[in-house]
Chains A and B, each alone.
Chain A
């Protein structure tokens, strides 16, 4: 919507909304940078120096790069291949295929890790039933860098897929048609036209996958910590968990390093995206859909088989473990039991509390963010591009940096009682809520700004001409029109917050456990069956939310849901 002059009272509202964004996003990150570089109010690189001289840090940094590059490489192969297949060929059932392909991104990484642990380890209920389990006492085959990179790659493949598919969709159709007219066959066109032109989007997707892998906590925590394989994220977690807030300056420095690597990657990604500015011209249908002919059934079978291996098998293993009374017991009709589910849902106080905590944290964050994002997005729509981009950048910061970085920043901000109020949020559930509001703000704001961009500005002007002031316009004209998108954004926030582990792993305290935290503690304590039961419930909630959001998405603006842009 164009820049429209506003009343003075609206300026106050806008300033208040900007204040919220700044408090949630800018202040914590700035405080982190200050703690790392100038812990006592003046520039002091002492901590910084000691941190980067530590061999453990270098080892962890090297490990981080190894698994992240490996994960990104696998994600590129899987994601770009699947994008080409779905965009350029006539495989059937594309919607369910894409939906399933996107699932690993939305299922919590710690749940995925647990599922794979249960699938392949010596204690695998599934493999034992088949007589294929590795000998008892051997190390789990997934522990260590290889397993971490494999799961990171599977988790991040959808990110590459989305980037490459968007690139393929903006590929000017006439370039392909010109090649067809020159007599080139499909393979030659893919090799000589499509792939070279998709290069930037493949690179951009790979960069996003790399950044996502750097910040991932669940997978290296479950597969690295037992094997003594440390990455930067788990190093920060272990330092803080082991030594408490006395090492805050040190972990702040580590976090800043991690944030700089991630933001550097994102800057590179933005630069690549800008270079790849092939504008969509008169775009009728999608790219050509080449018939696969007799290969089609084979390719489709291969896709579904791969999804079966990646999705169904691990979660079948998870379910199998959740259904036996103890690790090591074979799953048979006589041993199968729902006792684990009953235990984690009703009997065990910590897990019961965790479900309530995660659900209420996720719901509160979703509702609060939707309520703020509609007026914020609306006031932003009328502003100069520089203000809009500035706010978008600030709102993206807490989402772009790895979760541990945000958690450390929150601890730094909220460790001491709040000024004026004298209240301390540290070691209460409120610090987790504040962190969630900060981290997921972007997920709520982006669908709203997208939807607002698709609304004819005269609809807003007609309300102004009718005499409606800001609050009334938001309530009666803007809100009803952006509601589907705003709600879809809110559900996305719920989904991500409910499954979240990285932030809460550092911020939880007794009584404020989240689902991710109890899953982690149960697995570390060796209670595999209870952990599996918690994970199964988390998967069911995730699936239900995805399907519900899907049903709503038909009414939302285009590009609201990550799995159907």
Chain B
């Protein structure tokens, strides 16, 4: 039984369709990231699951219980779903311990039992001894941990995280991601994590759901999403690289195809059943290599970006100067803007839907 199931859910705000016919199943214990640009509807999706919004159409199940559907609406307070808010949502008039204890008090827990569970939750997030502090006296990272501890204490089997790292600085994000992974191990909860940062999503999630304009574009494990994006939007949004226009001239049974691109023919990966004809091809930086002057196609270097251990080179093919290809070099192969290089396509992916 999936932990969360959405069936053809639709949510409108006035004339704007925020969620457009979305179906999604999150497995029990899974860590699903919902990735998309701001305004794509990903936060609305989360709020629908939590019950803070009510869908116009479709059915939402948590476990095998219908929490939203035609004529069914279970209020958020009756769903027992944990949520970590972007603003942390810690009550300023309560101490850290009282904040964590709140859902337990609602469940009529009291006395030593309550104190023990609060202490355990505090310890689990590394805040032991800070229970009497006010939220205002904590740093951003610490507040985030209190919010996690609150979900931990309420023993929610489903925890929703709404851009939990958006208000933290870059250094803290990596640490908090590790905290969230630890939280998952400890709570064994199903996690739905909304973010617009693809590095966060690809780094921690079992599967990533990419949303754009209220629609789910693709739901897949991070490597599959990166290597085999279903459409141009997913391909552009997830990972670096370029989408170039080419033509499939021949297909093979083993999931490969021959494509004509930049004046030559290359063998790239393709989906089963790919037809011949004009297509879009996803080219990641590592799919390109610099070759000798006899091979590949000519391109001129536009920009060179040194990035620590590697150098990103942006180059435009001579036959298609409007396209910018980027490739990643480890070092040594110095090239300067304006230089002519020869590039070869060592791999690539024919985008199935255009």
Which A positions have Cβ atoms within 8 angstroms of B? 2, 4-7, 456, 458-459, 461-469, 472, 476-477, 480-481
Contacts and interface: CB of A to CB of B under 8 A. Distances in A.
Contact of A459 (B79, B83, B89): B89
Given A4-B52, A5-B51, A476-B102, A465 B83 contact: yes
B102 A466 contact: yes
B87 A477 contact: no
Contact of B85 (A7, A462, A469, A472): A462
In the complex, the 3 A-B pairs of residues with the closest C-beta atoms, listed nearest first: A466-B103, A462-B89, A458-B89
Interface string B237-269: 000000000000000000000000000000000
Nearest to A463: B102
A481 B85 contact: no
Contacts of B82: 465
Contact of A464 (B53, B73, B77): B77
B306 interface: no
B346 interface: no
Contacts of B2: none
Nearest to A468: B106
Contacts of A472: 106
B333 interface: no
Contacts of A463: 77, 91, 102
Nearest to B73: A5
A458 B53 CA distance: 13
A5 B89 contact: no
Nearest to B103: A466
A463 B154 CA distance: 12
A480 B134 CA distance: 15
Contact of B83 (A7, A461, A477, A480): A461
Main secondary structure of the interface of B (DSSP, over half): loop
B93 A464 contact: no
Contacts of B75: 5-7, 464
Given A464-B52, A467-B78, A480 B102 contact: no
B65 to A, nearest CB: 15
A458 B87 CA distance: 7
A461 B78 contact: no
A480 B92 CA distance: 9
B189 to A, nearest CB: 13
B212 interface: no
Contacts of B87: 456, 458
Given A468-B77, A480-B93, 20 more contacts: A2-B52, A5-B75, A459-B90, A461-B52, A461-B85, A462-B91, A462-B150, A463-B77, A463-B91, A464-B76, A465-B76, A465-B79, A466-B102, A466-B154, A467-B77, A467-B106, A467-B154, A469-B77, A481-B91, A481-B92
A472 B106 CA distance: 8
Nearest to A5: B54
B50 A465 contact: yes
A474 to B, nearest CB: 13
Contacts of A6: 75
A6 B86 CA distance: 23
B113 interface: no
B107 interface: yes
B154 A461 contact: no
Contacts of B85: 458, 461-462
A461 B93 contact: no
